């Protein structure tokens, strides 16, 4: 998967986890779990199911992933993300996921945090923080994971759609920004050139439609069609993705390279 040089939200921009924890006081954490999906050091395995080489109803995947302070595989190790995912839907690829975050270093050493819930194949998922141990004893909260829609086509995108590419460019833009307006034709020209060389690209608009109605989905679709955007132009209505990236203006660009067999998920608690 993609290993970014800066903050990386997965669950990214397309699948981003936002946690709120309450156990007498509010706690906010941000960490990353790293999954190795193939090779001799794999950290996730299909352990049961009708076909152990592909994902089908009834599959059970068990994982024990490194929990680190950053997206870099060499960033400080603070624990493990241990759990399983069960393909529990006959109609789509939705999964049931119990996860235990086990902290072995740092401020929360010796504590755990437990999450449980259903992750649909697309759309927004809400899961529950059901408890913990140590400093998170009796913790309660929720987790929201979101995927972003493309107004022009109605397609919902997720990180896995870009997995086969060696690099990914994420652009935060909008319709009304004068700086973006000045660069639109050049952005299209530049992305077309490098997409022809294997780059994946995606643009995201996170502006409020209350303050900037011209940046809403209907106008985004018209804009994408007018300028013939070669990349998906996605709507971040909740602005969670922009906050996860630390994007504060438009245009703003984030370039990610792929690390073989390595999956990074950003978690905010």
Residues 133 and 161 in one domain: no
Written as six digits, the tokens of 7 are 């903050």
Q: Which domain holds residue 227?
A: 156-260
Residues 18 and 143 in one domain: yes
Phi-psi region of 181 (alpha: psi -120 to 50; beta: other; left: phi over 0): alpha
Q: What is the pLDDT of residues 169-222, one digit of tens each?
A: 999 999 999 999 999 999 999 999 999 999 999 999 999 888 999 999 999 999
- Residue 234's domain is classified under what CATH number? 3.40.30.10
CA 61, 257, 243: angle at the middle one, nearest 5? 80
Show which of 111, 127, 147 is a domain's final residue.
147
Whether 238 is in a domain gets the answer: yes
Show which of 117, 147, 177 is a domain's final residue.
147
Q: What is the DSSP letter of 31?
A: E
Whether 67 is in a domain gets the answer: yes
Residues 22 and 138 in one domain: yes
Measured distance CA(151)–CA(46) in Å, rounded = 35
Measured distance CA(108)–CA(20) in Å, rounded = 17
Whether 265 is in a domain gets the answer: no
Show which of 101, 118, 147 is a domain's final residue.
147
Its pTM surpasses 0.75:
no
Q: What is the pLDDT of residues 109-156, one digit of tens each?
A: 999 989 898 877 655 667 788 889 998 888 887 766 556 778 888 777
Q: What is the DSSP letter of 135?
A: G
């Amino acid at each position: 998967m993609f290993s970014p040089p800066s903050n990386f939200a997965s669950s990214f921009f397309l699948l981003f986890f936002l946690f709120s924890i309450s156990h007498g006081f509010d706690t906010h954490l941000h960490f990353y779990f790293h999954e190795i999906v193939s090779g001799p050091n794999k950290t996730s395995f299909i352990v049961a199911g009708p076909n152990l080489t592909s994902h089908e109803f009834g599959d059970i995947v068990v994982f024990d992933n490194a929990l680190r302070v950053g997206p870099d595989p060499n960033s400080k190790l603070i624990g493990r993300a241990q759990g399983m995912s069960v393909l529990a839907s006959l109609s789509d690829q939705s999964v049931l996921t119990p996860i235990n975050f086990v902290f072995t270093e740092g401020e929360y050493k010796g504590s755990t945090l437990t999450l449980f819930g259903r992750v649909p194949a697309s759309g927004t998922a809400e899961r529950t923080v059901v408890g913990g141990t140590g400093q998170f004893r009796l913790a309660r909260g929720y987790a929201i994971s979101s995927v972003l829609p493309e107004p022009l086509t109605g397609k919902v995108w997720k990180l896995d759609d870009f997995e086969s590419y060696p690099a990914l460019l994420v652009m935060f833009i909008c319709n009304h920004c004068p700086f973006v307006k000045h660069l639109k034709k050049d952005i299209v020209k530049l992305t077309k050139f490098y997409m022809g060389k294997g780059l994946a690209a995606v643009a995201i608009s996170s502006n409020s439609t209350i303050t900037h109605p011209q940046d809403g989905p209907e106008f985004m679709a018209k804009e994408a069609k007018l300028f013939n955007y070669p990349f998906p132009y996605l709507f971040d209505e909740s602005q969670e993705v922009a906050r996860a990236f630390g994007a504060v203006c438009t245009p703003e660009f984030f370039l990610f390279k792929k690390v073989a067999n390595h999956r990074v998920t950003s978690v905010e608690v």
